[in-house]
């Protein structure tokens, strides 16, 4: 169906002038409001103000301008209904074939420091969502309907269809854009509901920022399907990957796959574990993950050195693992990595020579993830009939908060290894025990019901890899409830230990460390990871 009249009213002016010019060139009449109308007029375009079109002035400080039968009648009249078309003709209502609207910036407004309740409320759009919902409802049939656009990225697609054999947007495009519109208005209303239900006072002051509860009474989460996966954790489970919109810089969801097979559910879960761990390091680092647990972590004087050290920790588990780097991968590193079977590689970049090396292994999934400091707003875990929601565990204990609790204090070198071990333990499933030395993991014990068993497994891993634990540093993600766990790591050769502390038997464990000649540091913070 050919577009004759378009209504443009946008807060995001990106590309709107060029789009309007393209519409005019195709014989489309423009209607507009406020700032958008002025912008188009200043660009030399012929545009009719909505007030002139409806014959009703904007009132109530602009709160009422598009809530009018000549607007909603023009949007809602069914193109396949002779009765509807006769009715709008009888009342002098022109059809509006294209609606281009994006809403008042409510979410951006409430994100500003010091945003008052009055500012927030004034940025709740009323006319915009009403028009969007009307246009989306009347996207029509294959024979004709209204085209609704909320995203400047869709302007070229609309123009392309207008230039196509149908002379206007196809039904498929109109349906897609209508669906996108309802998702947009749902997210917009959800943000408003979450904001209002988070207010800590029943009557917030209009001229000051209201107190807000960290956890609103209504929490709305909306994500966008990125891809349908072959299956979930197991072949009998179906699955898909959804991402935030937009994805914050630095998070896995912003990846670009450069080569390899399609990512699986487990690939994505493990890749996230590897990426979150490796990007927590300032120095050049490599993390190898298997089944969501780091099986080798190291810092080095470059990606190659870091990889070589990380691989030494547990070559057996590294087989078929996920490898992440926080530095661009060069040819030498690519050659080394290609010597093992790897499922997924992640890095902020790759040299052309490195990509040529990986090209010889077409099944290897190579992901490029931009660096950034973005963090998820919260973590969610599904339980029967509900959701557990928490802040992400992104707290890094400052080194000056480490408290030496034993007679023997760690040396400077030991303190560096303790800080490294503590960082790694945060990403290991509880109960977690991590042995390290000279900037690399020596043994990792993960996910055991008993902390002693995690310590024993970590020791066995080191022995199997031919790595000595003599003088090593050990991190425990939570406190030692009894001295027996401390004795196990001491028997293995540990020279110093870092743990949260906080047990009723702390004094017993400290006494054991003094007895064994081990330095011990408390962090005051635990890192359970279930």
Angle between helices 69-76 and 127-137 (to 10 degrees): 30
d(CA 206, CA 227): 44
d(CA 104, CA 415): 52
Q: Which residues, listed in sequence order, are joined to residue 499 by a DSSP beta bridge?
A: 522
**CB-based contacts of 118, cutoff 8 Å, min separation 6:** 206, 207
d(CA 64, CA 54): 12
d(CA 74, CA 97): 8
Strands 433-437 and 403-404: unpaired
The catalytic residue among 84, 224, 261, 291 is: 291
Composition of the chain by helix, strand, coil, percent to 5: 40, 20, 40
Is residue 74 within 8 A of residue 88, CB to CB? The reply is: yes
Q: Structure tokens of 434?
A: 């991590």
Angle between helices 451-464 and 483-492 (to 10 degrees): 10
Q: Report how far apart, in Å, the C-alpha atoms of 152 and of each of 45, 84, 134 are.
A: 19, 31, 20
Of 182, 214, 178, nearest in space to 195 by CA: 214
Of 146, 145, 152, 144, nearest in space to 131 by CA: 146
Sign, CA torsion 72/76/79/80 = negative
Is residue 372 within 8 A of residue 297, CB to CB? The reply is: no
Number of Cα atoms under 13 Å in the Cβ half of residue 140: 26
Residue 180 appears among annotated catalytic residues: no
Residue 426 appears among annotated catalytic residues: no
Residue 330, number of CB atoms within 10 A of its CB: 17
The catalytic residue among 137, 224, 226, 361 is: 137
Q: Structure tokens of 354?
A: 């490195």
The angle subtended at Cα 190 by Cα 187 and Cα 191, nearest 5°, is: 90
- Indicate which residues carry an active-site annotation: 137, 291
């Amino acid at each position: 169906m050919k577009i004759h009249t378009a209504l443009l009213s946008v807060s995001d002016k990106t590309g709107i002038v060029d789009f309007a010019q393209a519409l005019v060139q195709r014989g489309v009449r423009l209607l507009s409001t406020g700032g958008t109308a002025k912008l188009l007029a200043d660009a030399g375009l012929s545009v009719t103000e909505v007030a002139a079109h409806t014959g009703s002035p904007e009132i109530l400080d602009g709160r009422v301008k598009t809530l009018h039968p000549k607007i909603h009648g023009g949007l809602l009249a069914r193109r396949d209904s002779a009765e509807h078309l006769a009715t709008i003709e009888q009342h002098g209502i022109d059809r509006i074939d294209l609606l281009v609207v994006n809403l008042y910036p409510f979410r951006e407004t409430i994100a500003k420091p010091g945003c008052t309740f009055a500012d927030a409320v004034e940025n709740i759009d009323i006319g915009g969502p009403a028009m969007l919902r009307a246009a989306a409802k009347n996207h029509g049939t294959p024979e004709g309907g209204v085209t609704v656009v909320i995203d400047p990225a869709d302007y070229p697609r609309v123009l392309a269809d207008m230039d196509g054999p149908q002379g206007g947007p196809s039904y498929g495009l109109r349906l897609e854009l209508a669906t996108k519109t309802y998702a947009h208005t749902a997210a917009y209303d959800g943000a408003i509901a979450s904001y209002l239900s988070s207010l800590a006072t029943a009557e917030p002051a209009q001229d000051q920022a209201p107190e807000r509860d960290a956890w609103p009474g209504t929490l709305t989460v909306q994500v966008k399907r990125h891809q349908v996966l072959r299956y979930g954790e197991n072949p009998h489970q179906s699955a898909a990957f959804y991402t935030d919109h937009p994805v914050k810089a630095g998070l896995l969801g912003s990846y670009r796959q450069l080569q390899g097979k399609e990512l699986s559910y487990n690939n994505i879960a493990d890749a996230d574990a590897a990426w979150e761990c490796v990007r927590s390091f300032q120095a050049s680092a490599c993390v190898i993950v298997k089944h969501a647990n780091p099986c080798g972590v190291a810092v080095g004087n470059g990606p190659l050195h870091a990889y070589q050290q990380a691989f030494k920790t547990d070559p057996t588990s590294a087989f078929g693992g996920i490898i992440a780097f926080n530095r661009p991968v060069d040819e030498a590193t690519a050659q080394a990595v290609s010597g093992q079977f790897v499922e997924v590689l992640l890095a902020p970049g790759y040299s052309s020579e490195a990509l040529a090396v990986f090209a010889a292994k077409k099944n290897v999934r190579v992901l490029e993830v931009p660096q950034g400091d973005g963090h998820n707003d919260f973590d969610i875990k599904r339980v029967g009939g509900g959701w557990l929601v928490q802040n992400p565990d992104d707290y890094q204990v400052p080194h000056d908060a480490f408290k030496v609790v034993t007679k023997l204090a760690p040396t400077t070198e030991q303190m560096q290894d303790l800080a490294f071990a503590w960082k790694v333990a945060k990403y290991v499933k509880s109960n977690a025990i991590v042995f390290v030395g000279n900037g690399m993991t020596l043994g990792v014990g993960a996910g055991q019901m008993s902390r002693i068993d995690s310590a024993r497994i970590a020791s066995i891993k080191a022995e199997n890899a031919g790595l000595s634990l003599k003088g090593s540093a050990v991190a425990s993600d939570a406190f030692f409830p009894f001295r027996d766990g401390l004795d196990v790591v001491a028997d293995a050769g540990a020279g110093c230990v870092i743990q949260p502390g906080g047990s009723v038997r702390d004094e017993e464990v400290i006494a054991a460390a003094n007895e064994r000649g081990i330095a011990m540091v408390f962090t005051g913070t635990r890192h359970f990871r279930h």
